[in-house]
Amino acid sequence: MIDRPPRLVVLAPNWLGDAVMALPAIADLRRHFADAHLTVAGRGAVAALFTMVPGIDAVLTLPGRGGMAALRTWKADAATLAAGAFETALLFPNSFASALVVHQAGVRERWGLATDLRGRLLTRTAPRPRSAESQAAYYQMLVAAFGIANGPRHACVDPPPLEARLAPAGPYIVFAPGAAYGKAKQWPPAQFAELASLLLKEKVSVVLVGSRGDQDACSEIAGAVARFGAAPGEELVDLCGQTTLAQLAAVMAGARTVVSNDSGAMHLAAAVGAPVVAVFGATNERRTSPLTRGSEAPHAIVVTANVWCRPCMLRECPIDHRCMTRVTARQVLEAVRAVNP
């Protein structure tokens, strides 16, 4: 029997999609440590996700940076965690730096995978799971290794109310055309534009969303819509780079459907309960298909092209990007109609 710590901190994954896929494992921790004060610590916008997750007592934004930069900024993270006076930390990141941070913060119990030569910095370790059907299953296998029972594999995010200025008055569909991992994951803007024109003709507005890094793709879509015959005055709203994570969640929660690549936005959309159509190319839908918000929530429809080279897991396509270019706008339109008749 594991002693229940009065103050438990979970170090969240560094990417939005991974953070959403970790929510079932965090829910497992919440049930197991029902009397503990549960804090989730994460970076930047990822930390903001957990302010919308039920059952979390506090959210801590780490000031340092992820990746290799963490080796230069870990002291700021350690100082932030030390101020929380946590007794136990569970690490979802597998990096050496994350273990160094909780060690230097003086957290007495430090749990995580024995990876990246960090075993001596942790007090309890688990071997890397040999196989997992999905990334969400992988995170649940991690907590199970420490004696914590797994529950339902759902991801629930409760967004704030939608601000009227952020969305059209009538029905709308959200497009999330970006993908931080690389262009190999992105359905081409020309196909998004063709789909937008088909929807606009049906008097359904289209809202483009994404981070500042997605602005080129969104601008290309907005500029190309007219070539597909959309009439003047039909509504296409470009919110790319203009929303906080909470505002983005609210916009997607109000959508008739969200059309997305395999991205953090896709996972967030499903977690707020939006019907999702996800276009997968380079990546493996068996590993990273979006979770449902609950047992009654709609399941995402995944659209793929039947080509020999996918899933390659590459950031950039070395040939002709056929896994995405062969997915047509009408295919995705049919999926939109099916996921939300």
Instruction: Domain 164-339: give its CATH superfamily.
Output: Glycogen Phosphorylase B; (3.40.50.2000)
**Residue 65 identity:** R
Percent of the chain with pLDDT over 90: 78
pLDDT at 233 over 60: no
pLDDT at 227 over 80: no
What are the pLDDT digits (tens) for 87-105? 999 999 998 989 999 999 9
Domain with CATH 3.40.50.2000 in the chain: 7-144, 164-339
Which pTM was predicted? 0.94
- 303, 322 Cβ separation under 8 angstroms: no
Tell whether the torsion through CA atoms of 2, 22, 71 and 115 is positive or negative.
Answer: positive
Q: What is the mean pLDDT of residues 185-204?
A: 93
What are the pLDDT digits (tens) for 24-83? 999 999 999 999 999 999 988 899 999 999 999 999 999 976 666 666 678 899 999 999
- CA angle 224/230/233 to nearest 5° reads 110
pLDDT at site 272: 98
Strand order in the sheet with 276-279: 236-238, 205-208, 172-176, 257-261, 276-279, 301-303
Q: What does pLDDT average to over the chain?
A: 92
pLDDT at site 1: 45
- Structure tokens belonging to residue 249: 């969640």
pLDDT at site 4: 52
pLDDT at 21 over 90: yes
What are the pLDDT digits (tens) for 145-180? 999 999 999 999 999 999 989 989 889 999 999 877
- Hey, what CATH topology would domain 7-144 get? Rossmann fold (3.40.50)
The pLDDT confidence band at residue 183, using thresholds 50, 70 and 90, is confident
| Residue 9 bridge partners (DSSP) | 39, 89
pLDDT at 226 over 80: no
CA distances from 305 to 60, 187, 194, 260, 313 (A): 41, 11, 17, 15, 15
What are the pLDDT digits (tens) for 110-153? 999 988 788 899 999 998 877 778 999 999 999 999 999 999 99
The pLDDT confidence band at residue 232, using thresholds 50, 70 and 90, is low
- The DSSP annotation for 114-151 comes to S-TT-GGG-SEEEPPPS--SSHHHHHHHHHHTTT----
